[in-house]
Structure formats: C-alpha cells, structure tokens
Chains A and B, each alone.
Chain A
Amino acid sequence: MANPLFDQSKYDLSYQKIRLAYQRPEIKASVEVILSVFAIAFLLLVAVRPTLATVAELKKKIEDYEVVDKKLNSKITQLTRAEKELRENSADLYLFQRGVPDNFDYADLAKRVEIVAVEEGINLETLSFSRADITGEEVTVEKKDKKGNFIEGEFLLRFSLNGEEAKIVSFLEKVEKLDRVIKLENVSVKKVEDKEFPGGKLRAIGEITGYYLNSELKENN
C-alpha cells in the first residue's frame, strides 16, 4: 500500500479534540462571539462603508441635479412667458428695431434731423457724429447683455443751430421724439451777438446720444 500523502488519523484526532473542546460552553460562546465580531467588522468594512459613501455621493449629485432642475423649470416658465409676450406684442416689436437699430447708421439719422430742422425753420449749422465701433473689438466701455451677445453701442451727435427760441425748443422736442431712441445730453442756448442776425436769433449747441445694437463687436477684455 502506498504511503498516504498525509496521515488522516492525525487530523481525525485533532478534529475530535477540537470538536470536544467546542462542545464546552465557555469555548463555544467565545468562538461565536469572536466570529460574530469578525463577520460584523467584515460586513461593515467591505459592504456598508463603501455603500454609504456611494449613497452620500449620489445624494449630493441628486441635490445638485435638483437645483439644476429648479433653474430649468424657472427658465422654461420665463421662456414660455417671453414667447407669449412676444406673440402678444408682435405687432409693435418693430418699434424696438427702429428705436435701436442693429448697426451704426449715421446717414438716416442725419437726414431725419435735417428734415426736422427744415420743417421747423431752423438753420442747422453743424452736425457731427462721434466715433463708433462697427466691427472688431469693443473699445469703449459699453453696456452689454448678460450673455455678452449683443453689445449696445453709443455715439454722440453734436449739433449747432440757430433760430428763434420757440423754433429751437420745438426742434429739439421733435428730435427727441423721433422713433429712434436718442437722448438730449445737454444744450446751451445763447443769444447771437452777430450782426448777421439783427432780428435777435439764438444759437443752440448741444449733444445728443444715439444707440445701436451690434452683435459683430467683440468684448475687449
């Protein structure tokens, strides 16, 4: 008979001994307590801890997504309202376009100011436009919307004119009331001392701000 690889009887004996020892209540209790502690520690370390970490992470993500969801809800509400308002006022929206045109256009404005001057019997001496950014980078500090897509450009229109007081006032009033948004910044009305106006005319010098919208301009940081 071949030699067994290990002596079975030896292990049987050890097993018997362990079994007898395990039947003693104090050992049985101690072993069970130790095994329970190990099992609990194992479960806590391997299963519960990582799961709780994942749960915490998920909870944080859910909170963030809930914030995004709320913002999207409010944005959708605003957009729905905006669409409704745009639809309701679609007939008048062209006035905004006329008031603040898309690009800098001096010719049309100059022509209209001249027409008002002729209508009011005012002698328009000079009409000069300040510099205006048309393309490239924005140089002047202008207002822009929150997204920076539309840059609101401004330009100054300096004028010098002469005429009678009532006509000057009426001219400036009419110019301010043009469908183009322009703001009278300052005006200085002075009696003309010159002999060329014996009837006692007045000369008015002033500045008007005009506006335009330009999406081609880039913000200069």
Chain B
Amino acid sequence: MVVLTEFVVILAFGSRFWFDKKLNDLKEVIDQKEMVVVSYAETETEMRKILARQEPVEDYLEGNIKMTKRIDDLKYFLPEGITLTELKIDEDKISLLGVAGSEETFSRTIRIMTQMEDAYQTEVRELEFDQKKGGVNFEIVNYLKEEK
C-alpha cells in the first residue's frame, strides 16, 4: 500500500512537471505570436480605418432614398391628368401633393400608389374637391418598407 502511495506521489510530481513544461512552452508560443501580431500593427490600423470608412458606404447602399428611380416610377405610373405641386422623398416615405383632373384620375392614382412595390401603407392626408375647376386637390403619403 505504501509502495502504491509512493507511486502515486511520483506520478503526481511527474505530472506537475509535465504540466509545468507544457505551460512554459505555451507561454513561449504565445509570446512569439504576440510579437507577430505587434509586427502587423500598421496593417491592423490601416484595415480598421478602411472598415470604419466602409460603414458610410454600407449606410448609403442600405438607406439610399433611390430618388431617380422613384421619380422615374412616378412619371411612368401616374396617370395623365395629374399635376404635382410638391413631391417629398424621404428614407421611409414619399409624399405627393397635387391636383387630379377628375375623381377617376384621383382614384387611379390612389390605386397605383397602393400597388407600389415597396409601399406598406398609403395614407390620404388631404382631399379637397374643387368645384370651380372641377379637380381634386390631394396629398397622398406612401410609407415605405424598411430595406434589409
């Protein structure tokens, strides 16, 4: 029994030294790798700057209001007889203020606005029937889906 215990003691000492050596080797390896990382400091700074500069580009690509496309779409889809007096384009909505020549033209405009591909809600804010000129003054707001 004592011999067995002594064997355990020797084993414990042996493993202690083995772990000690392993730890020291690992420390040396880590020191070397840290030196390598330090030698890349300039590259890291350069890369971080580029990544920081990339963020606005991503912002632009994600949050771009696509003004030209929206104006082209409106020009293409809006029916004849619509005169716009004001057009507001934001990141999340398009607002149209104008005059429709007739009620039918106005209802077609509403239908077109609701069918726009990235619109999730259409709101008619103002609606006024001009009895003298026979037109419809309106303000339509299209709320746009957030791009992912």
Contacts and interface: CB of A to CB of B under 8 A. Distances in A.
Q: Do A and B bind each other?
A: yes
Interface of A: 36, 39-40, 43-44, 47-48, 51-52, 54-55, 58-59, 61-62, 65-66, 68-69, 72-73, 75-76, 79, 82-83, 86, 93, 96-97, 99-100, 143-145, 147, 149-150, 152, 154, 169, 172-173, 176, 181-191, 209, 211, 213
A55 B45 CA distance: 40
Contacts of B20: 58
B5 A39 contact: yes
Instruction: Please tell me the size bucket of the interface on B.
Output: 35 or more
B80 interface: no
A173 B68 contact: yes
Contacts of A47: 9, 12-13
B124 interface: no
A40 B2 contact: yes
Interface stretch (B55-63, B101-109, B110-118): B55-63
A82 B12 contact: no
Top 8 nearest A-B pairs (CB, nearest first) are A58-B19, A211-B56, A51-B12, A100-B53, A72-B33, A79-B40, A188-B88, A190-B86
B52 A150 contact: yes
Contact of B46 (A36, A86, A99, A188): A86
Contacts, number: 159
Contact of B23 (A61, A172, A181): A61
B19 A59 contact: yes
B65 to A, nearest CB: 6
Contact of A187 (B23, B51, B54, B67): B67
B55 A65 contact: no
A183 B64 contact: yes
Nearest to B72: A169
Interface of B: 1-2, 5-6, 8-9, 12-13, 15-16, 19-20, 22-23, 26-27, 29-30, 33-34, 36-37, 40, 43-57, 59-60, 63-65, 67-68, 71, 84-91
Contacts of A189: 86-88
Contacts of A76: 33, 36-37, 40
- The B contact surface, by secondary structure, is helix
7 contacts: A40-B1, A55-B19, A62-B19, A76-B37, A79-B43, A86-B46, A213-B49
Contacts of B33: 69, 72-73, 76
A72 B15 contact: no
A86 B85 CA distance: 50
Contacts of A191: 84-86
A124 B55 CA distance: 30
B71 A169 contact: yes
B1 to A, nearest CB: 6
Contacts of B22: 58, 62
Contact of A40 (B5, B57, B84): B5
A145 to B, nearest CB: 5
A186 B65 contact: yes
B27 A65 contact: yes
Contacts of A145: 48, 51-52
B115 to A, nearest CB: 23
